Amino acid sequence: MTPDTDRPSPDEALSRRIIDLISAGRARSRTELAAALGLAPSTVSLRVQSLIDAGLVTERGEGTSRGGRRPRLLGIDDTSGVILTVDLGGGHARVGVHSLSGALRETRSIPVTLTDGPEPTMAAVCRLFDEVSGGRPIHAIGISLPGPVDIATGSVTQPSRMPGWPGFRVGEHVRQRYGVPVAVDNDANLAALGEHRAQFGATGHSITVKAGTAIGSGIIVDGHIHRGATGAAGDITHTRIDGSGDIPCSCGNTGCLETVASGASLVRQMRERGRTEVHTTADVLALAFDAEPEATSIVRTAGTHLGQALSGVVNFFNPHAVFLTGSMSASEPFIAAVRSRVYEACHPLATQQLRIEAAQTRADAILHGAARWALDNLELPTAA
Ligand SMILES: [Zn+2]
């Protein structure tokens, strides 16, 4: 696989499709695989054997015969090792242990201070990796960083977000320690990948917006992350919103979506109204949950602004779904306002089959996405 794309070669793609079909339970034998893939049984058998030799696929007894030899049933070898993931946030590192089919088996969190720099932070993460893997073989590792990432080098690209981290090759550092493929990306892209693959598998188009204290989004095209020319695709937070009142934004412009729809902006708006008991996004959401009129109105307006920013994107990109994650996605008035603005502002053709809903993978979206991204980077047998 080339480092600047997550599209596998046709040869790798066959191995991956075989694994996907077996994982999803859509093919249980070599015969069913050949039928599903439209390939000669001999081609499929050779590739399945190479996946068995690699410890990825296993035989699980015999199925029923429809005349002739009974087919040997296939499964993903979930006993042969684990996929490890980590979601690095401002104050915590959340580690996930996944089976080879990507299923999340266990999570563990530790406090970390990113401003301590990459080496002590990654040392703490690796200690937790060692603990949770319990000596089982590790197939691959997926890492989520809370800022723009150059996926070719596996390093952070914007110094303002994570001082001391730019230039430090997080992926390479961890790969040297474990000797397995390490895939790195930012949290918004991985949340999008995690939710998308859980809902649609490796096909279809979607946008996942993380609406919490800040706003970010990831775009999935044909089941894969779309990064754009410079990795900035999906940066919806600096979309200008009409009538937003020219509030200065962290980017230097005024009137960005972030200034009117982020959790931080909701807190500011409540405090401007004299609500000094409000300190966090959670405080505003709790008030809105209790149907307190001022908080509810502010949350709804934030949803309308996000819907406004999304409507241009939906008209242009025509996705199957818009998923919302982050703390604000738990607020029904927020989601309802996003939905109604998008449906109102978009061409009916663009919204005919569009789903706008809270992400099913919830707080685990990033870990699921990191596991999928690690699995996409797993070195698979390319020729039998
Ligand atoms: Zn901005």
Q: pLDDT by residue (tens digit) across 210-232?
A: 999 889 999 999 999 999 988 88
Helix 263-272 to helix 293-317 angle (10° resolution) is: 150
Asked whether the predicted pLDDT for residue 2 surpasses 50, the reply is no
pLDDT digits (tens, 9 = 90+) for 25-76: 889 999 999 999 999 999 999 999 999 998 889 998 887 777 777 888 999 8
| Alpha helix (H) residue ranges in 54-141 | 118-133
The two structure tokens encoding residue 85: 């993931």
How far out from the chain centre does Cα 58 lie? 28
Average predicted confidence (pLDDT) for the chain: 91
Task: Please spell the DSSP secondary structure of 249-267, one letter per residue.
Answer: -TTS-BSBHHHHHSHHHHH
Q: How far is the CA of 127 from the centre of ligand 1 (A)?
A: 37
- Rounded CA-CA distance 384/381 in Å is 7
* pLDDT level of residue 80 (50, 70, 90 thresholds): confident
Instruction: 293-299: list long-range contacts, CB under 8 Å, 24+ apart.
Output: 294/270, 295/270, 296/333, 298/266, 298/269, 298/270, 299/266, 299/328, 299/331, 299/333, 299/334, 299/337
List, as ranges, residues with CB under 5 A of the ion ligand 1. Answer: 238, 249, 251, 253, 256
What DSSP state is assigned to residue 359? -
pLDDT at residue 1 in the model? 42
At residue 116, the 3 state secondary structure works out as: helix
The two structure tokens encoding residue 197: 């693959």
pLDDT digits (tens, 9 = 90+) for 289-314: 999 999 999 999 999 999 999 999 99
pLDDT at residue 4 in the model? 42
Residues 193-203 as b/e (b if ≥16 CB within 10 A, e otherwise) read: bbbbbbbeebe
Asked whether the predicted pLDDT for residue 118 surpasses 80, the reply is yes
Q: How far is the CA of 231 from the centre of ligand 1 (A)?
A: 17
Answer whether 0.85 is exceeded by the pTM.
Answer: yes
Q: How far is the CA of 363 from the centre of ligand 1 (A)?
A: 26
Q: How far is the CA of 160 from the centre of ligand 1 (A)?
A: 14
pLDDT at residue 283 in the model? 96
Q: How far is the CA of 269 from the centre of ligand 1 (A)?
A: 17
